[in-house]
Structure 1
Amino acid sequence: MYAVILAGGSGTRFWPKSREQLPKQLLKITGQGTMIQNTLDRMTPVIPPDNTWVITNENHALETCRQLKPMGFCPSRLIAEPVGRNTAAAIGYSARILSESDPDATMAVFPADHAITTLEAFCELLQRAKTVAKKGHLVTLGIKPLAPETGYGYIKQGQALEDGAFKVDRFVEKPDQQTAETYLKESGYYWNSGMFVWKVSTLLDEIKIHLPELHAQLDALATNTFEAKGQYPYRMLNESGRNIFSSLKSISIDYGLMEKSNNTAVLPANIGWNDVGAWTALADVSVKDSRGNVIAGNVIAVDNSESIIQGGNRLVATLGLKNMIVVDTPDALLVCPKDQAQDVKKIVEQIKLEKRPEAVTSMTEIRPWGSYTILQKDANYQVKRIEVLPGELLSLQSHHHRSEHWTIISGTAQAQVDEVSHNLTRNQSIEIPQGAKHRLVNSGESPLIIIEVQLGDKLDENDITRYEDKYGRA
């Protein structure tokens, strides 16, 4: 059995920690690992990492590979989408690529950002789902409802099948409160988890019937897929493939296929599932204090109850809060009532309307070579902490409007300034004059960390002229 992890979401309800450039699935929200690491880890007893595929936006491909490769994931099994086109396109494209190596494969599909706490039951469920799928069914995992939730779609079970599964009678859109309460009282209704198991051949046959326009493009997408060069040879589309994928209709697999097929089955699941769809989900998947608070980070909380308080490096002090959410990051602070957690996305929409950067980026930005964090910024100076991964290097570049000063904090650097190369270690520094061609290389085996001070009248990322670049940006 193979797994496909869907990792294309933006996680707007988890702003301000989740941003477009580093979304929820790449963050530590519910445990020691990031959400996508936790997703890969929980499947390992049934589906080994080298049988797992990931499909994500091309902007997140490198960071996803970095997070998963140490766990045994093979970077060539990451598929990079040029744009988001919903789950039907992502699943269809992944299935077509998987079919090249194993046309008779059984394929399980999981969102990257859910939480599951009953792991033994989850693994046993996957084995049963595989058995049902091998008999030609499109299997969806239905969660036994615990409350009259109006935020989920529902599945109504029909005729009993083998291995505890049922034919799907119908899929139901997100209900109102009264209808959800009725579903909870009646037996045979399940939350739609967005997790599926099927044979690749069955899925592709069903896509051909119900999504013929998508099916007609899958061969062309596969033909125009190639492996990127470098340390992480993930799969991406060439220009023709990008144009094809961008032209696909944006439609969910539920609406485009599952609701139309007569070949669907639901397997009831009691696995401690949570879709972690908003900050309030932390109350269900995290340890709470004696007053029902979920507190993390540098926080002093006095007389608070039933609140979620997430601090960072600076002190967050709260007093007398009840049913509130407080999330602090270096460049943005969220304060809202818990019953409006689903509306955090409205804040993100407003930030975008005002063309502010906080919806897209944070003070830390991921780059192909590592990352940088803005420590201080003013009109004519900026201070950054730069981390370069072992063996990586920045582009050969120059700046027309600023000079730079580098101080090595840890690691070993090779700094090129014009035609001269300098080897630098901890507590050594070097000046980069305005207009000089320069490059920074991590020549050691541990991360290289430097403090960069920029001085000039233009300090944004647009003041970069690249002459050579390992990552194709010159």
Structure 2
Amino acid sequence: MTTIVLSGGGGTRLWPLSRQALPKQYCDLLNGPTLFERTIKRNIKFSDNLIVAINVSHFDIAKSQLEKVCPHKSARFILEPCGRNTAPAITLACLALDPDELVLVVPSDHIILDEEAYEDAVNRALVAASLGYLVTFGLKPEYAETGYGYIEVDSDEEAAEKEFHHVRAFKEKPDRATAEAYIATGRYYWNSGMFAFLAGKYLNELGKTAAEILMASEKAWKIARRSILPGGIGEVITIPQEEMFLIPAESIDYAVMEKSQNVAVVPCSFGWSDLGSWDAIWNIREKSGIEAIEEPSIISVDSKRNLIIGSERLVALVDIEDLIVVDTPDALMISRRGSSQEVKKIVEILKEKGKTHLL
């Protein structure tokens, strides 16, 4: 089995800490290992075979963090000169494998709190994948979330006995009323962005549903530059920029999962979050008790329920409630809790004003 770690995301929703040069998966958000480091440690138990798909500019930090948590660990790094979404990244990784190889695909910027439940879900997903299904992990919704896509399932007894369900449909991010209606049926799950399948099965399905992605990826793969890491502990595969640009940019959901007739979902619940906003960071820190940790650069007087992410500069609060404050050497962001999804608007404004050095 091979684990494919997707680590090409930009993490702009956690600006100003997460930047193009150092996306959120490589940042210390939870007073401990980074999300990338946690992802490696969480999944190393399933397989010694590791492929990391990343932007070429993040190779050094990814390699450093991998060595930190798993010294002398051998891995293959697929370096992308530009992001083309998840379908091309997964396709390039699968082209490196035997068609019968079981594959577990995981993002590097998610958090999972219950690792025992996660291990159980992975084992169930691998069983379904070995039967020839394209498997996605469906998270039991905790509330009517409008920021996630949903998966509708068939609830037949045979599927229940196998501990997975056949997928009826993928749904885009809903409005509040629709999300509440989804949850009321008991047949909908959050789309986690994690997958399991046989490498050859995925490529065959991709050839049926998005042949242009497969053909362009195969062309890029054939002329990719390959080199061995010092000490022989891994391989670096660099995709040429011109060929990478020619691969259509599509998500695996849109390119394959939504169109295939052979998709299954494994229902699971393991304390998951994609940490897609500062409010999500607050929620996870609260659940895990991290918010109670005192940081020397923060002074709080008569203030409560605030999320403060500081740099070396002192941050002092007096009589303040329910704020998010993120202080970095060149930018300060302040938001009310509950409104941090709007950080993306700041990023867009900075782009419009040409202040790319702040992105």
Same fold (TM over 0.5): yes
- How far did residue 229 of structure 1 move? 6.5
Unaligned runs of 5+ in 1: 361-474
Match of 1:23 in 2: 23
SS at match of 1:286: helix
* Whole-Å separation in 2 of the counterparts to 1:24 and 1:133: 30
* Whole-Å separation in 2 of the counterparts to 1:163 and 1:121: 17
Which amino acid counterpart does residue 172 of structure 2 have in structure 1?
Answer: E
Q: Summarize the alignment of residues 382-393 of structure 1 with structure 2, pairs less than 5 Å apart.
A: none
- How far did residue 44 of structure 1 move? 2.3
Q: Structure 1's 130 and 81: CA in aligned 2 closer, same or farther, altered over 3 A? A: same
Which amino acid counterpart does residue 134 of structure 1 have in structure 2?
Answer: S
More helix by share: 2
Q: Summarize the alignment of residues 344-355 of structure 1 with structure 2, pairs less than 5 Å apart.
A: 344-355=343-354
Match of 1:87 in 2: 86
8 Å Cα contact 2:76/2:237 also seen in 1: no
Match of 1:322 in 2: 321
Match of 2:202 in 1: 203
Match of 1:194 in 2: 193
Deviations 1:127-176 (A, max 9, x none): 11111001010000000000100000000111442531000011111111
* Whole-Å separation in 1 of the counterparts to 2:117 and 2:208: 34
Match of 1:440 in 2: none
Which amino acid counterpart does residue 301 of structure 1 have in structure 2?
Answer: S
* Whole-Å separation in 2 of the counterparts to 1:123 and 1:171: 25
Unaligned runs of 5+ in 2: none
Which amino acid counterpart does residue 35 of structure 1 have in structure 2?
Answer: L
Q: Does 1:130 align with 2:131?
A: no
Q: Summarize the alignment of residues 238-387 of structure 1 with structure 2, pairs less than 5 Å apart.
A: 241-287=240-286, 296=295, 298-360=297-359
Query: Which residue of 65, 68, 89 corresponds with 2:63?
Result: 65
Q: Structure 1's 41 and 289: CA in aligned 2 closer, same or farther, altered over 3 A? A: closer
* Whole-Å separation in 1 of the counterparts to 2:56 and 2:18: 17
Match of 1:178 in 2: 177
Q: Structure 1's 293 and 308: CA in aligned 2 closer, same or farther, altered over 3 A? A: farther
Deviations 1:261-305 (A, max 9, x none): 100001101111111111111222214799x87865511112223
What's the RMSD between the two structures over aligned residues? 2.1
- How far did residue 356 of structure 1 move? 2.3
Q: Summarize the alignment of residues 107-122 of structure 1 with structure 2, pairs less than 5 Å apart.
A: 107-122=103-118
Q: Structure 1's 341 and 312: CA in aligned 2 closer, same or farther, altered over 3 A? A: same
Deviations 1:393-439 (A, max 9, x none): xxxxxxxxxxxxxxxxxxxxxxxxxxxxxxxxxxxxxxxxxxxxxxx
Choose 1 or 2 for highest CA Rg.
1
Which amino acid counterpart does residue 55 of structure 1 have in structure 2?
Answer: A
Q: Structure 1's 133 and 298: CA in aligned 2 closer, same or farther, altered over 3 A? A: same
Match of 1:458 in 2: none
Q: Structure 1's 44 and 229: CA in aligned 2 closer, same or farther, altered over 3 A? A: closer
Deviations 1:67-118 (A, max 9, x none): 1024147565111001110111111111112x2xx33111111111100011
Q: How many equivalent pairs are there?
A: 352
SS at match of 1:77: strand
Which amino acid counterpart does residue 166 of structure 2 have in structure 1?
Answer: K
Match of 2:3 in 1: 3
* Whole-Å separation in 2 of the counterparts to 1:331 and 1:75: 37
- How far did residue 230 of structure 1 move? 5.9
Deviations 1:24-43 (A, max 9, x none): 11111124111100011111
TM-score by length of 2: 0.92
- How far did residue 350 of structure 1 move? 1.6
- How far did residue 21 of structure 1 move? 0.7
Deviations 1:300-334 (A, max 9, x none): 11222322111221210012222211011111111
- How far did residue 60 of structure 1 move? 0.4
SS at match of 1:350: helix
Match of 2:215 in 1: 216
Identity of aligned residues (%): 37
Match of 1:51 in 2: 49
* Whole-Å separation in 2 of the counterparts to 1:266 and 1:289: 28
Deviations 1:365-406 (A, max 9, x none): xxxxxxxxxxxxxxxxxxxxxxxxxxxxxxxxxxxxxxxxxx
* Whole-Å separation in 2 of the counterparts to 1:293 and 1:182: 36
More strand by share: 1
Which amino acid counterpart does residue 80 of structure 1 have in structure 2?
Answer: L
* Whole-Å separation in 1 of the counterparts to 2:131 and 2:329: 52
Match of 1:441 in 2: none
- How far did residue 234 of structure 1 move? 4.5
SS at match of 2:109: coil
8 Å Cα contact 2:151/2:190 also seen in 1: yes
Match of 2:146 in 1: 150
TM-score by length of 1: 0.70
* Whole-Å separation in 2 of the counterparts to 1:189 and 1:168: 10
8 Å Cα contact 2:53/2:78 also seen in 1: yes
Q: Structure 1's 2 and 289: CA in aligned 2 closer, same or farther, altered over 3 A? A: closer
- How far did residue 222 of structure 1 move? 2.2
- How far did residue 201 of structure 1 move? 1.0
- How far did residue 61 of structure 1 move? 1.0
8 Å Cα contact 2:228/2:236 also seen in 1: no
Q: Summarize the alignment of residues 91-102 of structure 1 with structure 2, pairs less than 5 Å apart.
A: 91-97=90-96, 99=97, 102=98
* Whole-Å separation in 2 of the counterparts to 1:171 and 1:288: 29
Which amino acid counterpart does residue 126 of structure 1 have in structure 2?
Answer: V
8 Å Cα contact 2:52/2:75 also seen in 1: no
